[in-house]
Amino acid sequence: MSTQHPAASHATLRNTIHAQVMWNRLLSVVEEQAQTLIRTAFGTSTREAGDLSAGVFLPDGRMIAQAVTGTPGHVNSMAESVKHFLRAFPSHTMAEGDVYLTNDPWKGTGHLFDMTMVTPVVRAGQVVALFASTLHVVDIGGIGAGPDGTQVYHEGLFLPILKLFAQGQPNQAVLDIVRANVREPVQVIGDLHALVACNEIGGRRLHAMMDAFGLGDLAAVGEYIIRQAGQAMQSAIAAWPHGTWHNSMTIDGYESPITLVASLTISADGIDVDFTGTSPVVARGINVPKAYTDAYTSFGIRCLIGADIPNNAGSLAPVRVHAPEGSILNAPFPCAVTARHIIGQMLPDVVFGCLRQARAGTVPAEGASSLWNIQLSGGQPLAGAAASELMKGRPFAITSFSTGGTGARPGKDGLSTTSFPSGVRNVSVEILETVSPLVFWRKEYRPDSGGAGQQRGGLGQVIEVSNADGAPMVLAAAWDRLQFPARGADGGLAGAPGRVSLASGKVLQGKGRQLVPGGDRLVVETPGGGGIGDPARREPRQLAADLRNGLVGGAAAIECYGAQPSGVVASDLATPA
């Protein structure tokens, strides 16, 4: 029985409820910040796919709250990037109306396409908070999308941490430099103004909240929120077995395969992940800055440990990541990094492989994981085709956020065509066909791509697209799992590898800029997720439903799941026309 005095107990209850109300209000503030960015952005990546992040920070750079809308790669790396801004521009030098910007991959979110903006909130002459936001712009100049560059200098315009607005006045020189270096200046400049707007809205709503609660600053409530999240994360870690587990994964790489090696230690002090033994950097744009490695490693852990705990400085702190400098997971400047997502988004699967050993039966199998974005452009010269032919078509550049299947989950099948771990939405084909001369002829599930198992892996998809102008177009491929598909777990089979080709029959490479000739069609087949458990133990009703729905073909049912199970009739085994 508690010996706490009733009055003290009531005060604690009031303080707890008061803090919870303020926490809920902060969440609504950062969510409105993110939604403002979506409503005002020019680029489809932000407006349609939600490829962004938004959050509020204490003046020392610690994140208090993040918007639910956004991606782990942006949010978790942005959580550290604000500290870099403060080193360049200490808070005591900031004034109301100042706005700061960078796309430095090592001080932002991992590649030049991501613009990160920080805006101080000033109250009674003091900086009381910082709002930060990030989005992916459609173009940043240089060689363009894809991993073809060999140094970051090839990959586009590099903006160090700088002041974009000084007390409300824009730095026209910076805006002019951006306009002069990108292929889509209207969209890119429009997106920069959208970032300004979303942070400004966040600041307005925070002022209103502080007025409502009579707060002079956020120090007390911020410290409370961060401390509570940290304690909750430590409790979640304590519920897991302590020890060290190891896992490795081989993926396609560029010219040669890449091996990701991890050891994960759970102790009373937290969780340590060490990537010693991982392959070194390469002279292509698939290298990963450490901030992006931290982001997706932490996210993989948080999917299983402390998943319901708010994501802020307190819950992030107990997870520590080490990757040797010079490894592909800690690429130093000036390595090429444009397609860092190819490898970085595999890290949750690597972490899962360790945690599966710590607690069997609770961890998903591997999935397609890294996005299969279709990046196409036209109306520009490219080696391999006559410039006159390429210039016939209308100029365009699009990114379609395409996905494969996730790995099977304990007791559940994998999710088909789902963007785990990035969380971005796809851009609808109607939007893409409106802003470009493209025609999407097919976008459908890819039968038999999910790995067989007691729980089946999620399916990939088949996408077929052409240029309606009849002109050639450029594919900037940045895909993996063509050679090394997602592995199954506990007796489950691997998912299908990805494949990319022309409708005329030519097989294309998974990485690099390639030509799609005029009049031909690009065919993209995304990978499936791995299965869990012996396929022979799959419920007959589930297999019958897969057959009826065309997710599994008759031949695959016999080959992968064994003899015809009871409950599956001959008509179910007939492959649909």
Q: How many CB atoms lie within 10 A of CB 482?
A: 20
Segment among 150-154, 246-250, 426-430 with least mean pLDDT: 426-430
513 and 552 co-located in one domain: no
Inside any domain, residue 266: no
Inside any domain, residue 253: no
Helix (H) or strand (E) holding 200: helix 185-213
464 and 577 co-located in one domain: no
Is the pLDDT reported for residue 99 higher than 90?
yes
- d(C-alpha 11, C-alpha 52), whole Å: 40
- Alpha-carbon distances, residue 284 vs 147, 287, 335 (angstroms): 6, 7, 8
494 and 568 co-located in one domain: no
Domain that holds residue 570: 539-577
143 and 70 co-located in one domain: yes
- d(C-alpha 377, C-alpha 512), whole Å: 13
Inside any domain, residue 296: no
Angle 334-510-300 from CA coordinates, rounded to 5°: 70
Inside any domain, residue 171: yes
Inside any domain, residue 71: yes
430 and 566 co-located in one domain: no
Cα 557 to chain centroid, rounded = 34
For residue 387, the model assigns a pLDDT of: 53
97 and 223 co-located in one domain: yes
For residue 562, the model assigns a pLDDT of: 84
Question: Which structure tokens are listed for 396?
Answer: 């365009």
- The mean pLDDT value for 439-460 works out to 97
Inside any domain, residue 302: no
225 and 374 co-located in one domain: no
Is the pLDDT reported for residue 1 higher than 50?
no
Nearest to 140 by CA among 102, 196, 193: 102
Is the pLDDT reported for residue 72 higher than 90?
no
- d(C-alpha 77, C-alpha 93), whole Å: 24
Segment among 46-50, 146-150, 221-225, 244-248 with least mean pLDDT: 46-50
Is the pLDDT reported for residue 564 higher than 90?
no
- The mean pLDDT value for 215-239 works out to 95
pLDDT in tens, 491-504: 999 999 999 999 99
Is the pLDDT reported for residue 85 higher than 50?
yes
461 and 562 co-located in one domain: no
Question: Is the pLDDT higher at 511 or at 77?
Answer: 511
Cα 304 to chain centroid, rounded = 17
Here the contacts of 239-246 (C-beta below 8 Å, separation 24 or greater) are 240/266, 240/305, 240/358, 240/359, 241/266, 241/358, 241/359, 242/266, 242/267, 242/268, 243/358, 245/354, 245/355, 245/357, 245/358, 246/354
Inside any domain, residue 317: no
142 and 31 co-located in one domain: yes
**Reported confidence tier of residue 62, pLDDT bands at 50, 70, 90:** very high
Mean pLDDT score of the chain, rounded to an integer? 92
Is the pLDDT reported for residue 454 higher than 90?
yes
Inside any domain, residue 323: no
Helix (H) or strand (E) holding 165: strand 162-166
Question: Which structure tokens are listed for 573?
Answer: 């085994």
